[in-house]
Amino acid sequence: MDAVNKVINEDLQKERDKCKFNVAELTAFLDGGDKFTQKRREKENRVFSIQGLRDAVPDEYMSHKERYENAVRKAVIMHQTLGTLEDKTLTEYETARLALRATTSSAIFKENSPLMLHYSMFANVIEGQGDEKQREYWLKKINNMEIIGTYAQTELGHGTFIRGLETTAEYDPKTEEFVLNSPKLTAYKWWPGGLAHTANHCVVMAHTYSQGKSCGIQPFMVQIRDLETNMPMKGVKLGEIGAKLGFNTVNNGFLGFENHRIPRDRMLMKNSQILKDGTFISSPNSKLTYGTMVYIRVSILGTMANTLGRAVTIATRYAAVRRQSQPKPNEPEPQILDYVTQQHKLFIGIASSHAYYISCFWLWTLYHRVTKELAVGNMDNLAELHALACCLKATTSADAAVLVERCRLACGGHGYMLSSNLPQIYANVTAANTYEGENTVMLLQTARALVKAGMQVAQGQKVSPSMAYLADQSKMAKWDSSVDGIVKGFQKVAAGKVAACLASLQRHTNNGQSAEDAWNLTSVQLVAASEAHARVILLSVFKSEMDVQTLTLSGETRTVLFQLVQLYTIYWALEKVGDLLLPTTTTTYSVSICDTAMRCDGWMDETSLFEKSTIQTSARTGIAGLVLSGLVYDSAVYPELVHQSLTSWPLQ
Ligand SMILES: CCCCCCCCCCCCCC(=O)SCCNC(=O)CCNC(=O)[C@H](O)C(C)(C)COP(=O)(O)OP(=O)(O)OC[C@H]1O[C@@H](n2cnc3c(N)ncnc32)[C@H](O)[C@@H]1OP(=O)(O)O
Ligand SMILES: Cc1cc2nc3c(=O)[nH]c(=O)nc-3n(C[C@H](O)[C@H](O)[C@H](O)COP(=O)(O)OP(=O)(O)OC[C@H]3O[C@@H](n4cnc5c(N)ncnc54)[C@H](O)[C@@H]3O)c2cc1C
């Protein structure tokens, strides 16, 4: 194996040599600047040089228990290592941006870390829901790993419907304690990562009662295990939920309570409070309790960018080194990358990964702005943030799962091998369709906001900036096959779908249906309208952010990035050709230029055997990448046809 490792595959090297742009420049652009590239590499080099982080045996040959124990062992080393590299001089945004790119964890854990929830939701829920004293007390313990925690919301009976949670927390003013109970089996917490054996604390979302009255769903910090023995505390029942498609080392567990008492100050009281005598002071907005979910939904865009980037890198490298068939007699078998069908499968993955990165940073900026506004009591933009986070989480995770599976199929039989790592990547990516808000449910949340905006437009009222295009449709000029033109086409499609939903809701209520039944009867269209809106946002943000952010880049790098924008836009125009009412056309791909993602060593945190043995990489540094061909649309008739279709759009 070692001898093989020293030789870089000839075809791969040739592709890298053909690169027309400055790889370092593009890498720094994606990282957010040279400073971050340096920091990322420092982290990667440190982590990847640790012998103890390598698996003696591939995960898939271990038992369930061995896998978990191996993951715990690595999680401890990772924590010790990363702790020493922490940079306190970075702003919160910079730290988040670095975390998004320096995903060493995905290279170390094929099925994720058992501490995943500790670092993500547990820490964030204390930050977002704890009062000042609670934040000061708990965050120190969390950061020092004095306690290990998770986020326990979902129950066996209810995941989506939070208001239906059955775990109860009843305030007892005599002892100034809350009494936690799981009155039924369906009230058991079910799913929280790390709960099975790893966590000794968790934030429990529970239906809260005081003075005999419901105080809604509130968060509580609960110690569930003894810190010395790791055994469950009195009145706490714990266990593991069992083997899953993926996430097997995340250690998802169940949790039930039987008269488990906790002090009053364990309720996280930033937003709502229960005073010593039991008086309930309600949050200014009950949805503030859901803030951690919004934060993770925003992060998921970045996770999708990384996960898809890894899959498409593996598949593109494979396409460069794999030769198959003999279309021209007496000539060698071509690289499968030369087949246009193969390029069609892979390039959209490269473009989408970039689109998700850009959209994630854009959404992060909005998230930080809204968080600052909330801190001073301004809720004006919370609904818009929620609507955007829901539809973008749903659309990017759904697309990423499809595209990762396409990458797996693009590797033929080898993609079916676990050693390709593509099946495990798929198992990770498809989970995001369900966790942090099931995708259909998320799209329906955005649809609520779209319907509201549609009604406001009809009444001549102002709507939120991301939905302002709904009001502009009548003024909208002709559109064409330029990127901006296609974005306008998509705006028209989304506006048309929203209008159709409003008409359907109206029709059903006029026919005597209740508002709820009218909503259910219209829900297939509502989901479609919400997805169309997400497409508008993804396409327009990708284009406009690239316009602004690439100004200082060299012409070659800008060109290749704009080819990705163009590819992404045109791909979706063709995918949604029915929506755009485009009659069948003979538009063809004429593939000639381009490439990108796999040139940047940001993608190089893949540790699979497959990559190392079959396709040689220069392991995490200075990957020159492959020269693929870019995509140029070659159809003179295209703009005309699109335009004609749009002018016959029945709902405009
Ligand atoms: C460091 C980071 C790394 C990241 C790695 C990632 C992987 C990490 C691993 C992750 C592992 C996985 C970990 C996990 O999986 S943790 C568990 C995650 N669980 C969920 O996400 C549950 C999904 N369900 C919900 O969120 C709610 O119950 C929904 C939203 C469905 C309905 O709710 P409800 O029935 O109560 O509400 P309503 O429909 O009557 O609507 C009422 C109004 O409220 C507004 N509204 C609703 N929600 C919000 C909100 N959030 N902010 C602002 N507003 C909000 C809404 O628009 C509406 O407004 P209006 O129309 O009336 O004006
Ligand atoms: C890998 C993984 C990790 C997880 N980690 C955690 C964790 O750490 N902590 C935690 O608390 N939870 C966690 N979860 C749970 C997760 O958040 C829930 O599974 C998710 O919110 C969906 O809820 P559910 O499973 O009850 O699905 P359901 O809501 O029962 O969904 C089933 C189907 O019903 C449909 N449906 C439900 N309600 C509606 C509606 N109102 N309108 C239309 N259709 C509807 C859905 O679209 C879906 O098709 C995790 C889940 C997974 C898969």
DSSP codes of every residue in 108-136: H-TT--TTHHIIIIIHHHHHHHS-HHHHH
Residue 86 sits in the same domain as residue 47: yes
Cα gap 370→466, rounded to integer Å: 14
Give helix 291-321 / helix 422-431 axis angle, nearest 10°: 160
Domain co-membership, 381 together with 246: no
In terms of domains, do 158 and 237 share one?
A: yes
Q: How many percent of the chain have pLDDT more than 70?
A: 87
Write out pLDDT tens, residues 5-21: 567 899 999 998 998 89
Segment 58-85 mean pLDDT: 92
Ligand 1 atom 20 nearest Cα: 437
Contacts by 368-372 with C-beta closer than 8 Å and gap 24+?
Answer: 368/92, 368/93
Above 50 in pLDDT, residue 588? Answer: no
Q: What is the CATH number of the domain that holds 201?
A: 2.40.110.10
pLDDT of 566 higher than 50: yes
**Res 344 pLDDT > 60:** yes
Q: What is the pLDDT of residue 600?
A: 31
Domain assignment present for 506 = yes
Query: How far is the C-alpha of 334 from the C-alpha of 323, rounded, in Å?
Result: 5
Which has the higher per-residue pLDDT, 7 or 390?
390
DSSP labels, 158-189: -SS-GGG---EEEEETTTTEEEEE--SGGGSE
**Does 425 share its domain with 296?**
yes
- 52/141 same-domain check: no
415 Cβ closer than 6 Å to some ligand 2 atom: no
Residue whose CA is at the smallest distance from ligand 2 atom 24: 159
Which of 333 and 97 is assigned the larger pLDDT?
A: 333
| Domain assignment present for 620 | no
Whether residues 324 and 462 share a domain: the answer is: no
CA of 155 to the centre of ligand 2 (A): 10
314 and 268 in one domain?
no
- Does 165 score more than 80 pLDDT? yes
Whose C-alpha lies nearest to ligand 2, atom 9? 192
Both 411 and 472 in a single domain?
no
Residue closest via CA to ligand 1's atom 13 equals: 436
Indicate the pLDDT class of residue 649, thresholds 50, 70 and 90.
Answer: very low
| pLDDT value for 481 | 80
Last residue of a domain, one of 431, 465, 486: 431
Angstrom distances, CA of residue 26 to CA of 34, 351, 552: 10, 14, 11
The three-state secondary structure class of 202 is strand
Question: Containing domain of residue 586, as a range?
Answer: 439-594+629-647
Q: What is the mean pLDDT of residues 347-372?
A: 95
Contacts of 176 (CB under 8 A, 6+ apart): 263, 264, 276
Residue 230 maps to a domain: yes
Say whether 152 sits in a helix, a strand or coil: strand
Per-residue pLDDT tens digits for 181-192: 999 999 999 999
Is position 249 within any domain?
A: yes
Verify that 454 and 558 share a domain, yes or no. yes
Least confident of 89-98, 440-449, 462-471: 89-98
In the block, tokens 């995943």 appear at 116
Identify the nearest ligand to the CA of 297 by its number.
Answer: 1
- Statement to judge: residues 102 and 224 lie in one domain: no
Average the pLDDT over each of 41-45, 192-196, 296-300, 390-394 and give the range with the smallest value: 41-45
Domain end call among 385, 405, 431 = 431
Residue 479 sits in the same domain as residue 399: no
CA torsion sign for 66, 72, 78, 81 is negative
Write b or e for each residue in 432-441: b if 16 or more Cβ atoms lie within 10 A of its Cβ, otherwise e. Answer: bbebbbebbe
Please give the residue that has the higher pLDDT: either 426 or 582. Answer: 426
> Which range (200-209, 260-269, 576-585) has the least confidence?
576-585
* Ligand 1 contact via 293 beta carbon (within 6 Å): yes
Name the residue of 445, 451, 467, 526 to mutate for ligand 1: max ligand atoms within 8 A of Cβ: 445
Between 442 and 90, name the one with better pLDDT.
442
Per-residue pLDDT tens digits for 109-158: 999 999 999 999 999 999 999 999 999 999 999 999 999 999 999 999 99
What is the Cα 407 distance to its own chain's centre?
Answer: 18
What are the pLDDT digits (tens) for 479-518?
678 899 999 999 999 999 999 999 999 999 999 999 999 9
Q: How remote is the CA of residue 160 from the centroid of ligand 2, in Å?
A: 5
pLDDT(1) > 60: no
DSSP one-letter code for 583: P
Q: What angle do CA 491, 494, 495 make, to 5 degrees?
A: 85
Q: How many domains does the chain have?
A: 3
Q: Is 545 a catalytic residue?
A: no
Asked if residues 111 and 55 have their Cβ atoms less than 8 Å apart, the reply is no
Tell me the mean pLDDT in the region 218-238.
98
CATH number at residue 16: 1.20.140.10
Is the CB–ligand 2 distance for residue 454 below 6 Å?
A: no
Q: Is residue 602 part of a domain?
A: no
In degrees rounded to 5, what are phi and psi of residue 500?
-65, -40
Who wins on pLDDT, 187 or 85?
Answer: 187
Return the SS3 of 243: coil
Does pLDDT of 265 surpass 80?
A: yes
Does any ligand 2 atom lie closer than 6 A to the CB of residue 431? yes
Of the pLDDT bands very low, low, confident and very high (cuts 50, 70, 90), residue 575 is very high
Residue 528 lies in a domain: yes
Report if residue 344 sits inside a domain.
yes
Last residue of a domain, one of 232, 257, 283: 283
Q: For residue 651, what pLDDT band results from cuts at 50, 70 and 90?
A: very low
Whether residue 549 lies inside any domain: the answer is yes
Under the banding of pLDDT at 50, 70 and 90, the label for residue 476 is low
| pLDDT the model gives residue 587 | 26
Residues 445 and 423 in one domain: no
Q: Give the pLDDT score at 581.
A: 62
Per-residue model confidence as pLDDT tens digits over 596-643: 323 333 222 222 222 322 222 222 122 222 222 222 222 222 233 233
pLDDT at 539 over 90: yes
